Homo-oligomer: A and B are copies of this chain.
Amino acid sequence: MTPRLTLLTDFGTRDGYVGAMKGVIASISPGVALDDISHAVEPGDVRGASLALERYWDRYPSGTVHLVVVDPGVGTERKALAVEADRRLLVLPDNGVVTRVIDSADRWRAVSLEREEFWADHPSSTFHGRDLFAPVAARLAAGLALERLGPSVRDPVRLPPLPAPLATGDGAIEGRVIGIDRFGNLSTNLPAEELGGWEWVEVAGRRIPRAETYGRVGPGELLTLVSSDGRVEVAVRGGSAAQALSAAVGTPVRVLSDRSRASPGPRR
């Protein structure tokens, strides 16, 4: 079976850095199938990379190697990790990017990449993507056992947890926008299935009705629905909710049910 290896970086593609990583991988594990996830992560955006990784890591079959190089701490004392979680393998800097994987995995274990014989010869101090992460990921894809790479790590760096949704006095639940995708849809930290019978959200003074799908509102209208990640999402059919609401990461989102006593904002 062809091993499969995915790549997520903030390198862009134009400079040839990703190409160098792919070449190193193909040299060590020649039959590997390389899947680009993205190289357009904002430079150093560990939280954004973590959100993206959460969306795909366990959609891939067991045995897949996921390589993530969003590494603002390259050249500092940060560790480098290999992680096995629910039979997928991950190779990434120890900067919190793995947080959502190990929080959702049934089982995981991690090692610190300290065995230099599995790195490139004469590794640079600035491009661990090519000289450390890529060779190790390729060796895992070729069948090397995780535990050979270095000592166990029991406490990988974790991102600060998302602020928990807050029950307000008036019966509403208040959360936050945690991400905005290319379409301008707003992701929140509100897990839909724990909210029971919510019927509206309020964002930026606008009261927005819940709908099962985009088709239940007219083109250009706001709606709130359960996202494909299982969270409360705010969207505009055929448009950008971020633009319509001038919303950004951190913008409060209040979930209202009929029983909420919250005074509604102006209706559209």
Cβ–Cβ contact A15 & B76, under 8 A = no
Smallest Cβ-Cβ distance to A238: which chain B residue: B72
Distance (Å) between the CB of A50 and the closest chain B CB?
10
Contacts of A72 in B (CB 8 A): 238
Within 8 Å by CB of A127, from B23, B64, B228, lies B228
Q: Is A91 an interface residue (CB 8 A)?
A: no
Q: Is A116 an interface residue (CB 8 A)?
A: no
Please indicate which of the listed interface residues A1, A6, A35, A212 has the most CB atoms of chain B within 10 Å of its own CB: A35
Q: Is A267 an interface residue (CB 8 A)?
A: no
Smallest Cβ-Cβ distance to A62: which chain B residue: B27
Cβ–Cβ contact B60 & A227, under 8 A = no
Within 8 Å by CB of A14, from B48, B125, B131, lies B48
Separation of A125 and B34 alpha carbons in the complex (Å): 30
Name the interface size band of chain A: 35 or more
Separation of A33 and B8 alpha carbons in the complex (Å): 18
| Contact stretch, chosen from A38-46, A148-156, A197-205 | A38-46
Separation of A41 and B183 alpha carbons in the complex (Å): 12
Within 8 Å by CB of A16, from B17, B54, B238, lies B54
Contacts of A250 in B (CB 8 A): none
Cβ–Cβ contact B27 & A61, under 8 A = yes
Contacts of A13 in B (CB 8 A): 36-40
Separation of A124 and B214 alpha carbons in the complex (Å): 12
Contacts of A16 in B (CB 8 A): 8, 37-38, 51-56
Q: Mark each residue of chain A from 1 to 37: 1 if its CB lies under 8 Å from any CB of chain B, else 0.
A: 1101010101111111111101110110011011111
Q: Is A74 an interface residue (CB 8 A)?
A: yes
Separation of A33 and B29 alpha carbons in the complex (Å): 13
Q: Mark each residue of chain A from 106 to 140: 1 if its CB lies under 8 Å from any CB of chain B, else 0.
A: 00000000000000000011110011000000000
Task: Give 24 A-B contacts (CB < 8 Å), ordered by A residue.
Answer: A8-B16, A13-B37, A14-B41, A15-B52, A15-B55, A15-B179, A15-B181, A16-B37, A16-B54, A17-B181, A18-B37, A19-B35, A23-B56, A23-B64, A26-B35, A26-B64, A36-B36, A43-B182, A44-B238, A72-B238, A76-B214, A77-B215, A126-B214, A130-B228
A→B interface (CB under 8 Å):
1-2, 4, 6, 8, 10-20, 22-24, 26-27, 30-31, 33-44, 48, 51-61, 64, 72-77, 124-127, 130-131, 179, 181-183, 212-216, 225-228, 233, 235, 238
